[in-house]
Amino acid sequence: MTTADVYKTDPLHGSPNGGVMRRLNMGTGVIAGVVLAVAANQLLKHLTKDHVHGPDARAMFTMVGWAVGFMLGIGAFTGPFRWLSGRDLTHADELFLAGKDQGVSRYFRFTTDHKVVGIQYLVLVMVMLGAGGSMAMLIRTDLISPNTGFLGPQTYNSLVGLHGLTMILATIIMVTGPFGNFVVPLMIGARDMAFPRLNALSLWLLVAMLPILYSAAFLGGIPMGWVGYTPIADQGPKGVDAYMMAILVFAVSTAVAGMNITTTIVTMRTRGMTWTRTPIFVYGVLASVVLALPAFPMFMAAELLLLVDRVMGGGFYVSNRGGQPWLYQNLFWLMGHPEVYVILIPAVTALMELTTVFARKPLYSFRVAVLSIVGIVGLSVTVWAHHMFASGWAPDLNGPFMLTTEMISIPTGGLFLVILGTMWRGRIWTTFPMMCTYAMLWNFIIGGITGIYLSDVPLDYQLHGSMFVTAHFHYTLMGAGLTGAMGALGYWFPKMTGRMLASTPAFVSFWLVQIGFNVTFLGMFMVGLEGQPRRVVHYDANLHTGNLISTIGAYCIGVGMLVLLYDVISSWRSGELAPMNPWGAKTLEWTVPNPIPLENFAVLPVVTEDAYGYGEEPVTAPEPEPVPASAGAAATGVDQGERTPGAPA
Amino acid sequence: MSPRKLIGPVATVLIGGAFVSVLGLLLHQSLSPAVAARVAAATTPSSTERHHVYVNLSTYPDSMAGEHGKDGGANPDWVSYGPGTNIRVPAHSLVTVTISQYDGGEAITNPWFAKVHGTVGGTETVNGKPVTQVDPEEIGHTWTLHAAPTAQDSLFVSAPLPAVPDSAPLAPGSAYPKPIEVTFSFYTKSPGKYVWNCEFPCGDGYYAKFGGPMSTRGYMSGTFTVT
Amino acid sequence: MSVATTPAGAPDRSTRSDLRTIGLLWAIFTILGVVFALVVPHHLMGRPASNTMTEVERTFTVFSVASAPVAAAVWALAVYSLLRWRRRGAWKEGDPDGPALRGHGLTTGAWMFVSSALCLFLLIWGLDALSKVDSAAAASGDPLEIDVTGQQWVWTFTYPSDGVESDQLVLPLDRPVVFKVTSDDVIHSFWVPEMGIKVDANPGMTTTTSTTPDRLGTYHVRCAELCGLLHADMETGAQVVSTNDFDSWVAGQGGHA
């Protein structure tokens, strides 16, 4: 097949300036979504009548109607429709879909350009973090004293679950979404993602998901926390249907995004970008989405079975109907533990990437970095049942799961080594992103060590289900993960927006957030050790001190995050214009001009060495023939050819 | 740094704070008005004896007569306690609770809750007749008071309410049959906040019959504040 | 990947002085960490009320002491690099880069060896403790068996050998107890924080945990698994009393001792 066959232009049918697809945007999506939702709701009202599962089925189909309608209305299926009707998209149509010459309006459309999708992801993540953060503030306000009565148990329980789910979903996409989409194609020298339409699809599915998720608050709430344990989920009100539906949509989005990013990285690296010359952040993103690919179907399956339980009267998780609550827990944590590394790995590798730039040093032991990532990915799918030590499920397996869990600390230590080794005798430029690396080192050590306590079975019997666990995973997901994402934001902000992120407010925010964070969660460790269970709306009077400390710290985080929000908005609107390569980095995304043209590179670059040659003589461009293997290896210390990182040198 | 540069960040923080506050106000659930205990007329304040107070409650097969208004609120067909679910009594007092039981029922999951626990003499009176337990196959509801982290003392009282037979005729001029009157007494300790709930699973249509009215405030559970 | 030779060559004078200062920082941080590990967790977790909790606190302290040097090493390196190798002013085109160190085989090897050894130590310690926990109840004779039932939102305790059922947990001092835990509805988690025992109460299944209470007093039974509306209030007392007091309590409840 030649390119001419693919882009068969047909001026008779695909009018260059008209057509329905050119009028579709977020507004038409919302209209179509609401129309289909109302239609489904009314239809089910007639179909289910007074059936015992009627209300759940009705709620469920209303949500499906919304999601399908929204995606139809925004034009997510334009391509397949046109193909089915025999009028495949013309080149002009494709350019329109990519957002060519459309200004701001392309951010509100089903636009396929990876840079638009990256910015859309960034805004979406910020909205979700804002929503989750607001809920955190309310939770901490309720816990400011032993019995405030501020929220009441029902609202509190729902809020805890929605905060958790919002934050988990937001942190899963917070690096691979904005930076994986915007930066990775640039970094590997590609013109776009492998499947640009799937890319837009994954983003807009998430937008369709948000109203579904938050409708839970108006449908009686969710009584079972973000983990959605059964059988309490079988008992809950219609809010649980919203929870399930939101996860189903999210899982589809993740699968689509994961396949797309994987294909892009594996097949679309530019000429000369062998695996040993591929930047470590690209590895991080790849590891994250590859890990998500098997993980999220588990979650999806768990929720589908729950759906059958709730909407059709199945009994997968109901013991007196032959079901098994432990089945849900196994399926859930088969997703739940890999997911932690889905969040962490890209964040940490983003920090590795920027540490080489701000320390002006090559990455310390690229091979250890890659092997550590591979080791974590491999081990992380074998540790899930450490979340179930205290559940009573399979006590004989506690020992093996303790073994795999503790082994994961070895490759995690490798990540620390790489970052510390890169800092060693560097010329460290303490920008806001670089300070995020330092904050991550501090926080992740605490999160990692407390994780070791929890991996020890007898200790876990005591600590499981207590505030100690809550503090532990906030140290890993927020202290390391979110801090890494904030560093990535500061680092790539000039490329993504064309402007510099103002430094002073960023540092004010940094110290407020990091100090507030440590105050909050050290207080939470304290009450956990003193015996406070998770997810309680009020607590024993002798736990007051630690909770008060936590609440004060949480307000401090809240203020700090708002300062960062201000910084992002004001810098984006009127910040200092960024030069093409403000940090003097060597990766490819800094070789394109601001603003970045539609297909990124006028001429695709050819890579002759890795991006970490700080303090080394640059390898000259290959001419007329490729550089002899020995010359490249001597100059860069990197193997030539398609040799895998694990192969002996 | 000029003060003008502070306007933006300060405004952002204020707007954010206002947003969270509004959200908090919307989500804030104030307790429905408390059912205050009536002090017995015979007790004089100067008496060295404990106060003796009375609390009257009812259980209905719907929520028309509880704290959800005459139309029953969002879920009129849910069972409910009335006239309210938040009860306030004085500390170190003898509390006599009378519950008018209008609802039917069936067998209870845990027969232990068919027995009377924690009352004076370990008994309750059912339509005037003292008993220590009722038929576990014919339970309507229970009124089970227990300690919470917000209470200093342990206080556990559980009184089973026998079911009104399904065949009972409606009382004249009423939407319900003639109620079963259950009365029991117990002593409160120091001030604190306790909770009570029904231990007879009566949230029909939900898993373990503990969803719906059982898991929603203002129906089959409430607070018990000792002041 | 081979160890690249640096322009400055192998450890020179400045590297040695770097290492000396980092070592000093490491020692200071380690000492602070060890002191913290020895004092704070024990203080927060309170005096143990059972042999299980004594073991839990010991493990917590040992793990904390063992991790102190690791955390101290990371923080010492980070703090030193921040203070000593910090660039004054922004980077400009043409500024010299840092040394082109792409790895150091000995350092990498040592790091991996130490972290593996620590991991192995934690694992052996954990497996040993686990085997003790699992065999404790089985080994000791004549344990008191108590059936624990969680239901939304009350605990009840049945003493089959004494014919007693109660809303409060009452335990005789120094006698092994085996708890058989189940639930009537959703999942709860039976937790006595002062005794270091926890196991989920699952509907339709029985799970087991055991301990030997060894200090008189009144403790807490809490629910550690979100179980709905009054989850936070699903709490009751756990009293440890002398054998005589236990027998009279059983008699008072109408049981047969």
Q: Evaluate if residue A253 carries a pLDDT over 50.
A: yes
Q: Evaluate if residue B123 carries a pLDDT over 70.
A: yes
Query: From CA B150, how far away is CA A146, in angstroms rounded?
Result: 7
Q: pLDDT tens digits for A7-39? A: 444 444 445 555 788 889 999 999 999 999 999
Give contacts of C 7-26 with A, CB under 8 A: 7, 15, 18
C96 occurs within a structural domain = no
pLDDT-based confidence at residue C144 (cuts at 50, 70, 90) = very high
The reply to whether omega before A395 is within 30° of 0 (cis) is no
pLDDT-based confidence at residue A102 (cuts at 50, 70, 90) = confident
Please judge whether A410 and C100 are an interchain contact, meaning their C-beta atoms are less than 8 angstroms apart: no
**Domain match, C193 and C224 both:** yes
Query: From CA A620, how far away is CA A627, in angstroms rounded?
Result: 9
pLDDT-based confidence at residue A100 (cuts at 50, 70, 90) = confident
Distance from CA of C148 to the nearest CA of A (A): 14
Nearest neighbour of A392 by CB, restricted to C85, C97, C207 = C207
C149 occurs within a structural domain = yes
**Domain match, C183 and C247 both:** yes
Mean local confidence (pLDDT), A112-122: 96
Chain B neighbours, 3+ Cβ pairs < 8 A: A, C
Query: From CA C137, how far away is CA A239, in angstroms rounded?
Result: 43
CB neighbour list of residue B204: distance below 8 Å, 6 or more residues apart: B212
**Domain match, C30 and C120 both:** yes
Nearest CA in chain A to B208: A235
**Domain match, C170 and C130 both:** no
**Domain match, C150 and C58 both:** no
pLDDT of residue A111: 93
C203 occurs within a structural domain = yes
Query: From CA B110, how far away is CA B131, in angstroms rounded?
Result: 19
| Owner of token pair 């060590």 | A449
Q: pLDDT tens digits for C175-225? A: 999 999 999 999 999 999 999 999 999 998 999 999 999 999 999 999 999
Q: Write b or e for each residue in B89-103: b if 16 or more Cβ atoms lie within 10 A of its Cβ, otherwise e.
A: bbeebbbbbebbbbb
pTM of the complete model: 0.91
Per the structure block, which two tokens stand in for A583? 């940090």
Residues of A with Cβ-Cβ distance to B149 under 8 angstroms: 146, 536, 538-541
Query: From CA B161, how far away is CA B60, in angstroms rounded?
Result: 12
Structural domain span for residue C211: 144-252
pLDDT of residue A92: 86
Q: Evaluate if residue B19 carries a pLDDT over 50.
A: yes
C78 occurs within a structural domain = yes
**Domain match, C132 and C148 both:** no
pLDDT of residue A343: 95
| Cross-strand partners of B203 | B210
Mean local confidence (pLDDT), B127-154: 90
Mean local confidence (pLDDT), A452-470: 93
Q: Evaluate if residue B32 carries a pLDDT over 90.
A: no
DSSP string, A73-92: HHTTTHHHHHHHTT-PPPHH
Distance from CA of C83 to the nearest CA of B (A): 26
**Domain match, C134 and C149 both:** no
CA C91-C92-C98 angle, 5° bins: 55
Distance from CA of B221 to the nearest CA of A (A): 11
C243 occurs within a structural domain = yes
Q: Evaluate if residue B52 carries a pLDDT over 50.
A: yes
**Domain match, C44 and C122 both:** yes
pLDDT of residue A640: 41
Q: Evaluate if residue C40 carries a pLDDT over 50.
A: yes
What ipTM does this complex have? 0.92
Query: From CA B78, how far away is CA B63, in angstroms rounded?
Result: 6
Distance from CA of B180 to the nearest CA of A (A): 30
CATH number at residue C159: 2.60.40.420
Chain A neighbours, 3+ Cβ pairs < 8 A: B, C
Instruction: Kindly tell me the burial class for residue A10, based on how many C-beta atoms sit within 10 Å of its own C-beta (0-12, 13-18, 19 or more).
Output: middle
B21 touches chain A (CB under 8 A): no
**Residue C209 near residue C199, CB atoms below 8 Å:** yes
Please judge whether A232 and C45 are an interchain contact, meaning their C-beta atoms are less than 8 angstroms apart: no
| Owner of token pair 């290959």 | A622
Q: pLDDT tens digits for A41-64? A: 999 988 887 788 888 999 999 999
Q: pLDDT tens digits for A571-604? A: 999 999 999 999 999 999 999 998 899 999 989 9
Count of domains observed in chain C: 2
**Residue A468 near residue A528, CB atoms below 8 Å:** yes
Percent of chain C with pLDDT over 90: 74
Q: Which of B60, B58, B57 is nearest to B176 (CA)?
A: B60
Nearest neighbour of B110 by CB, restricted to C149, C233, C237 = C149
Query: From CA A648, how far away is CA A445, in angstroms rounded?
Result: 31
**Domain match, C113 and C171 both:** no
Q: Rounded to 10 degrees, what is the CA torsion of A305, A310, A311, A312?
A: 70
C3 occurs within a structural domain = no
Percent of chain B with pLDDT over 90: 42
C95 occurs within a structural domain = no
Residues of A with Cβ-Cβ distance to B29 under 8 angstroms: 151-152, 154-155
Per the structure block, which two tokens stand in for A249? 């949509």
Query: From CA C158, how far away is CA A271, in angstroms rounded?
Result: 73
Q: pLDDT tens digits for B138-147? A: 899 999 999 8
Query: From CA A647, how far away is CA C110, in angstroms rounded?
Result: 21
**Domain match, C175 and C75 both:** no
**Residue B202 near residue B79, CB atoms below 8 Å:** yes
Q: pLDDT tens digits for A347-389? A: 999 999 999 999 999 999 999 999 999 999 999 999 999 999 9
**Domain match, C122 and C174 both:** no
C17 occurs within a structural domain = yes
Q: Evaluate if residue A557 carries a pLDDT over 90.
A: yes
CB neighbour list of residue C179: distance below 8 Å, 6 or more residues apart: C146, C147, C148, C190, C197, C199, C208, C209, C210
Q: Which of C159, C177, C181 is nearest to C249 (CA)?
A: C159
Instruction: Kindly tell me the burial class for residue C16, based on how many C-beta atoms sit within 10 Å of its own C-beta (0-12, 13-18, 19 or more).
Output: exposed
pLDDT of residue C7: 46
**Domain match, C195 and C133 both:** no
Please judge whether B214 and C237 are an interchain contact, meaning their C-beta atoms are less than 8 angstroms apart: no
Please judge whether A229 and C74 are an interchain contact, meaning their C-beta atoms are less than 8 angstroms apart: no
Q: Beta strands B93-101 and B51-60: pairing type? A: parallel
**DSSP reduced 3-state for C210:** strand
pLDDT-based confidence at residue C13 (cuts at 50, 70, 90) = low
Chain C neighbours, 3+ Cβ pairs < 8 A: A, B
Task: Name the least confident of A138-142, A276-280, C132-136.
Answer: C132-136
Query: From CA A223, how far away is CA C231, in angstroms rounded?
Result: 10
Q: Evaluate if residue A641 carries a pLDDT over 60.
A: no
Map A326-356 to HEC letters: HHHHHHHHHHHHHHHHHHHHHHHHHHHHHHH
Task: Name the least confident of B38-52, B81-95, B116-130, B186-200.
Answer: B38-52
Other Cβ atoms less than 10 A from the Cβ of C86: the count is: 13
pLDDT-based confidence at residue C2 (cuts at 50, 70, 90) = very low
Query: From CA A121, how far away is CA B12, in angstroms rounded?
Result: 22
CB neighbour list of residue A15: distance below 8 Å, 6 or more residues apart: none
Per the structure block, which two tokens stand in for C247? 């027998």
